[in-house]
Structure 1
Amino acid sequence: MINVTKTFLPPFEEYSEQLKRAWEKQWLTNRGELVLELEQKLKEYLNITNVIVTNNGTVPLQIALKLLGKQGEVITTPFSYVATAASIVWENCTPVFVDIHPEYLTIDETKIEDAITDKTTAILATHVFGNPCNVEVIETIAQKYNLKVIYDAAHAFDVTYKEKSLFNYGDVSTCSFHATKLFHTGEGGAMFTSDKDLLHQLFYSHNFGHDGPLAFHGLGINGKMSELQAAMGLSILPYVKNIVSERKKIVDFYNSNLDLSKIQILKLRENTQWNYSYYPIIFKSEEILLKVEKKLNEIEIFPRRYFYPSLNKIEYLKSSSMLISESISSRVLCLPLYFGIEKEILKIIVETINKSL
């Protein structure tokens, strides 16, 4: 059975060596030496100033919205994983959807200003499939209207834009280290900011608000990563360049062998060094998508409909129609893409799709 993704696992003995450090210290949580080391190595690897690792990828969104959303209206994209918009509602803010660009699939920055009201407090945009949003225009709009910018960069590990980590943009960027991601800690995530005051708030917010063992800076929750998760991250980080390189070969194979005259592929924003995190293809109709999906499923190959449905169609998020997002979400299918997938399987996937178009 071939799924859309497969978790990369390091050699077990290497993971065991990291775990042994935690066992010897008998320190499994509360920011032990493995967590601190992982944060330092991530800063070096990504060439960033600050990072706080967390127990999953959704908590950073919730913390950022708690601090910056202030229960106002948050402009966001309808084309993302449900966690993006659900976090807005969870933090008692109101999601205001703006449609997406038909080729980049990120929020259409030209439509953001029309959605701003006197209740708008923030913009939460997603770097969809690791493809950067138009960060310059979004920043200009945010400064003009005194809004905060949060980026859901769940897919953006190791992506650079204009030779800088994509995590450098926005007031806060967040990432997922879920097992399905190219870099992962089993379950986990991170939040990034270059603002020292905001970094302080993010830090105590993910640690119950603590200021030492007996005092408190303010309100907080438990978003801390464990030593067991950090051990996985430390074991995988040395392999990331190789993982990205292998994924690039798969993407190149798809690009060279699929009939691109009959399908649309993701258009990357200029000045982007991508991480090959997903391979979405967009069919001319949902009918064709369903036909292709059925043919692949019949031979035990399971692509996935990222992201369906368009978030504005979910019951607790319902809003006005988002024509482009609704259209794309009904026609997009992500093909299997992971380290170690055999070339013969790729040939079967491509042949099955091309014959079904």
Structure 2
Amino acid sequence: MKYARPIYVTRPVLPDLPDFLSLLEDIWSTRILSNNGPMLRRFEAALGEYLGVEHISIVNNASMALVLSLRHFGITGEVITTPFSFVATSHAIRWAGAEPVFADVDPVTLNVDPAAVEARITPRTQAILAVHCYGQPCDTDALGDIARRHGLRLIYDAAHAFAVRHDGQPLVAVGDLSVLSFHATKVFNSCEGGAIICPDAATKDAIDLMGNFGIVDETTVTSVGLNSKMSELNAAFGLALLPRMDAALDARKVVASRYWARLKDLPGITCLCDPAIPGRNAYAFPILVSPDYPLSRDGLYERLRDEGIFARRYFYPPIADLPMYCELPSASAGELPRARRAAREILCLPLYPDLAEADQDRIIGLVSAP
């Protein structure tokens, strides 16, 4: 029987309303709504402390953050990236004036495969844009080694990797730059927003300048910039939410652990993200639905929808199969077999901190006995 209330793949965490209203009162008292105001500066400081990073530039969304990152390094040639991601990753490369080149993924993590990356390098290659898919860390050592040996910039799309730690360190501190997303679907959100984690103050200052039209002061403009500023309202939302994040992350792991315990041995189903691994954030619960399962992946997707349960095929189709990219040589038929197989088999089950146990039991039951 279909649920009266739909269950979506995610549901945003909200700040405690009194905390948010208190910050709104501060905004009302200043009447500063944008232009890197005091609320944004408070948010940057608090977020940097929470994540364990020193230099962070908050922007209006992660797509803009990716464009700014590529523009900061003057990337106009080829950027090797993954075909298994949200389309914004490749779109940002194009908007920055560069060209994506797709490399296949690792079959276990579904992150871009370093060996496949190195095989795609040409004299036109200028950067690697890798994605920590579902918050699982890329092989950062191997990618870093490739970037150093070939003189490439290494940028991470860390949209899924809020608060993830790897080898005891913040994952977002790895690479030349890392980009976070604070969209409403993410582990942490400011309704809309994003951030660039910078290695030093000079880089942060340069990105902040580019994101403020290139304006230095009232009469001085030094470069052709963009407008990437986050509003004070969004900054207040994010600032009010930060105190809830430890509890929200713990609750996500409880939900993910229930899925893992009951689905990891199910024939035809492969669970990808073990919530017991230290430092992970349980961003999603992706499964691969193989031909051994009684239903196809799309059959299971529709079966759940019939019951009002909206799982998502993150990421299908692969970016390389979209009309604006499918003519690229790296996207041609016969290339990217692991990414294309993953796109055919992937399904992300609903996961958010307050997913009721009874609702989760229903989802698990439908997957276990379709």
TM-score, length basis structure 1: 0.96
Aligned with residue 87 of structure 1, among 79, 84, 92: 92
Whole-angstrom distance in 2 between the partners of 1:175 and 1:214 = 32
Q: Do 1:132 and 1:269's aligned partners in 2 also have CA atoms closer than 8 Å?
A: no
Q: Does 1:68 align with 2:73?
A: yes
Q: Does 1:284 align with 2:290?
A: yes
Identity in percent = 35
Quote how far apart the aligned CAs of 1:11 are.
Answer: 2.5
* 2:21 alignment partner in structure 1: 16
* 1:309 alignment partner in structure 2: 317
Quote how far apart the aligned CAs of 1:267 are.
Answer: 4.9
Q: Does 1:322 align with 2:336?
A: yes
Quote how far apart the aligned CAs of 1:89 are.
Answer: 1.3
Aligned-pair RMSD on alpha carbons? 1.6
* 2:259 alignment partner in structure 1: 254
Whole-angstrom distance in 2 between the partners of 1:250 and 1:22 = 36
Q: Does 1:142 align with 2:138?
A: no
Q: Which amino acid aligns with 2:356?
A: E
Whole-angstrom distance in 1 between the partners of 2:157 and 2:275 = 17
Q: Which amino acid aligns with 2:84?
A: F
Aligned with residue 365 of structure 2, among 345, 351, 356: 351
Aligned with residue 184 of structure 1, among 179, 182, 189: 189
Quote how far apart the aligned CAs of 1:342 are.
Answer: 0.7
- Residues 1-357 of structure 1 mapped to structure 2, 5 A cutoff: 1-68=6-73, 70-258=75-263, 260-262=265-267, 263-267=269-273, 273-285=279-291, 288-318=296-326, 319-320=331-332, 321-356=335-370
Deviations 1:251-278 (CA, angstroms, capped at 9, x unpaired): 0100111253421111569985100111
Unaligned runs of 5+ in 1: none
Which piece of structure 1 moves more, 252-261 or 235-244? 252-261
Whole-angstrom distance in 1 between the partners of 2:353 and 2:273 = 23
Whole-angstrom distance in 1 between the partners of 2:259 and 2:104 = 28
Unaligned runs of 5+ in 2: 1-5
Quote how far apart the aligned CAs of 1:34 are.
Answer: 0.9
Q: Which amino acid aligns with 1:98?
A: A
Q: Do 1:131 and 1:269's aligned partners in 2 also have CA atoms closer than 8 Å?
A: no
Q: Do 2:137 and 2:171's aligned partners in 1 also have CA atoms closer than 8 Å?
A: yes
Whole-angstrom distance in 2 between the partners of 1:246 and 1:163 = 21
Quote how far apart the aligned CAs of 1:185 are.
Answer: 0.4
| Change beyond 3 A, Cα 1:271–1:256 | closer
Which piece of structure 1 moves more, 67-76 or 194-203? 194-203
Q: Which amino acid aligns with 2:66?
A: L
Q: Which amino acid aligns with 1:304?
A: R
How many residues align? The count is 356
Q: Which amino acid aligns with 2:367?
A: I
